[in-house]
Structure 1
């Protein structure tokens, strides 16, 4: 999750590192090669329980992105590097590239004439924004997530979305089957699977998906006792969807036409949209309470949050926001992390009602500046360049040296003494960008 991007081409805090050597580190689940570690054979990879340097990357990485099972890095020269799962083509490599080499970081093909400013990743799609505001996508999705036109479900190499003429895109956020793109001028575009209003209203009536209609059934079953069982319920519901409502090309979101957008974040099947006036909207599935609002109407509706959001993040079923507390002393510029949604593995980092946005008390005096959320874990980067993690510790995804869950934020001590520029969570792994 990046900080606000009103007029920024690369993440705030990363611009100065263009003349500084950097190292990308990873921790968590390595079974798909997303950690880029030697000997990480697809399906048999090793996990990393502490931040571990990823070999083979250039020393001038300025930003990173973590998808569900793959990772991306952008260099100061505007190149994109990728590694991890490539079954859907999300690495941007030749279709016949060796499966055994997916875990090795390599430069994305097909972007030689594009100077990339930022890259973004989801489960099956990758995206890059050029210095001219152009948007490029690659991977596979039957849900229209590529945004390349009706019926186009696969792009082995980066392809430019041609239906955004005159728009300078600065950020993209990708869910499992939907996408949101933020323009430099505050405009917002959505495409892909639009059931439950996860991308708002774009020229069609909103529809409820089988996943949302099954929410009572899901809640009543005792499957939330395990992360795998909960995910299985979600995936089963998705597979049952027929005649999926899809927006095949980017369209303007009607509910927000008169507003200027500052930040966007897509979870698995929900979305958060932060406007420049501080209003936070949510849309999509509310199975876990991830919308954070009593209003049950479909589409983009205001979140019930008291503090002033500055930046946002969405996990599989939970939501995070860095907020300003104007009542803080003495300057009134202190920040807090607010969380809501799925909390089976303590990924909210707090007690209390899960569906109501509340402050994560363990970070109250840490001045968080950005947050990121995975399947069932959360990360926060502070003004002191420290990384705090909480939630599910399985596979070492918290970087704390164990597989134990943590109910409240814990300092990633391995990174003490380093200057962390960026921290991002994939589904089951995490990445940090460190200045040398």
Structure 2
């Protein structure tokens, strides 16, 4: 297993400046090239069962981002790199590049005059946020996820989202067809496919459930699945999407009026649901609830509070499950000040909740009770977390090596990824079936 000798190295450039040194590692499903590994090592169509360094990235990567099937990395110069699936031009290198090169990280073209400070992605669209708060998008989406205007479904090169001009955007999050943007001053904007009220009610009095819900209902509460049933459920979702007609779409970002005056501090989009964390500590959810991913008894469409008894700190959303890092209450003296844990709820077909018990409402993951998680990320059917000790824990579906444990075995509870012992882990994120880990040195 590859090891780093110098965890935090700095390199003096010719100008005398000190540059950050880091390495990006990946593991999981390699079928779309999202691992970024050379063909001679792992390559397209072959999975990585343990964290493996990506050899062709700059040595000054500051942060990594995982789309559903592709990956993004941002370096210290504000330059963005991409690799993985490119069927929809989401890599920012046009549509003419050979599929054999998709697994090779390359710089996104068209952002040369933008100093990027953040990047986000769905399955078919990528986005960059500039230092000035501007939002840039590229890819293809018939669901309006580009946010570039009515019936604009393709942007082969990065294009600025003019509807957000004048706003200082801090973060963007994408579902399968919907998107949310959070501004520095706490305003929330939404656009794209809005069935189920997954971007709020948008003052629309005729919200209704997505036609996909009838497809998914048969799967939502059945916990006696064979492993093959996961593929069956996913196939039915995709078939249902193809059959949707007259899709309700908001083509440009629009202020979420029902949250006007409420300061939002974090956002997370699952496949067809959304989570919003507010400065006052309230956690809201909206969208489809066929897996119980909204975490609330109230079934109304739009943003309503999650039924949670803990103080949420940060949020993440997978295909159909939700994860929240919570600050535990120390008022009774039994909990050390500053202690955190993760509450989970929603789809649990592959144990991606990391716990037993009812799945429809938030409950803490007992196996992480003394680990103090500081970040969490959710994939299609697996989850990963980093702790205050710098350790990485994984749980859920192990298919294609997506847990990095050297096998395809599922883990019903969080399991310590000891192959990364000795590394200074800076960040860990999950796409649908792959993971990226940023380490110092």
User: What's the TM-score bracket when you normalise by the shorter of the two chains?
Assistant: over 0.9
Q: Whole-Å Cα distance in 2 between the matches of residues 398 and 376 of structure 1?
A: 10
In structure 1, the partner of 2:411 is 406
Question: Which residue is 2:378 aligned to?
Answer: 373
1:248 counterpart residue number: 251
Q: Say whether 1:56 aligns with 2:61.
A: no
Q: Does 1:230 align with 2:237?
A: no
Deviations 1:238-272 (A, max 9, x none): 22211000000001112211200010000011110
State the match for 2:438 in structure 1. 433
Q: Distance in 1 between matches of 2:407 and 2:35?
A: 17
Pick which of 157-166 and 304-313 moved more: 157-166
Match of 1:77 in 2: 77
Query: Which one of 389, 396, 403 corresponds to residue 401 of structure 2?
Result: 396
- CA deviation string 1:23-45 (max 9, x = no partner): 00000000110001111899952
How high is the TM-score relative to the length of structure 2? 0.92
User: Counterpart of 2:5?
Assistant: none
Contact 2:43–2:103 (8 Å) recurs in 1: no
The answer to whether the 8 Å contact 2:313/2:326 transfers is yes
Among residues 267, 270, 277, which one is paired with 2:280 in the alignment? 277
SS in 2 for 1:82: strand
* Equivalent in the alignment of 2:173: 173
Report 1:90-239 matches (<5 A).
90-205=90-205, 206-219=207-220, 224-225=225-226, 226-239=229-242
SS in 1 for 2:164: coil
Q: How much has 1:212 moved relative to structure 2?
A: 2.3
1:145-187 deviations in Å (ceiling 9; x for gaps): 0000000001111110011132100101000000000000000
Number of residue equivalences? 422
Instruction: Work out whether residues 92 and 158 of structure 1, in 8 Å CA contact, stay in contact via their aligned partners in 2.
Output: yes
Q: Which residue of 2 aligns with 1:8?
A: none
SS at match of 1:229: helix
- State the distance in 1 between where 2:36 and 2:274 align: 29
Indicate conservation of the 8 Å contact 2:264/2:279, yes or no.
Answer: yes
CA distance in 2, matches of 1:330, 1:221: 35
Distance 1:217 1:397, change over 3 A: closer
**What runs of 5+ residues in structure 1 fail to find an aligned partner?**
1-13
Q: How far off is 1:375 after superposition? A: 0.4
Equivalent in the alignment of 2:265: 262
Q: 2: distance between equivalents of 1:305 and 1:193?
A: 27
Larger radius of gyration between Structure 1 and Structure 2: 2
Deviation at 1:90, TM superposition (A): 0.6
Per-residue deviation, 1:235 = 1.5
Contact 1:368 1:383 in 2 (8 A): yes
Unaligned runs of 5+ in 2: 1-7, 12-17
Note closer, same or farther for the CA distance 1:299–1:213 as it changes in structure 2 (3 Å cut). Answer: farther
**Does the aligned pair in 2 maintain the 1:31–1:42 contact within 8 Å?**
no
- Aligned position for 2:3: none
Q: TM-score under structure 1 normalisation? A: 0.93
Give the CA RMSD over aligned residues: 2.0
The separation in 2 between residues aligned to 1:21 and 1:330, in whole angstroms, is 37
Q: Which moved more, 1:308-317 or 1:329-338?
A: 329-338
> How far 1:192 sits from its partner (Å)?
0.2
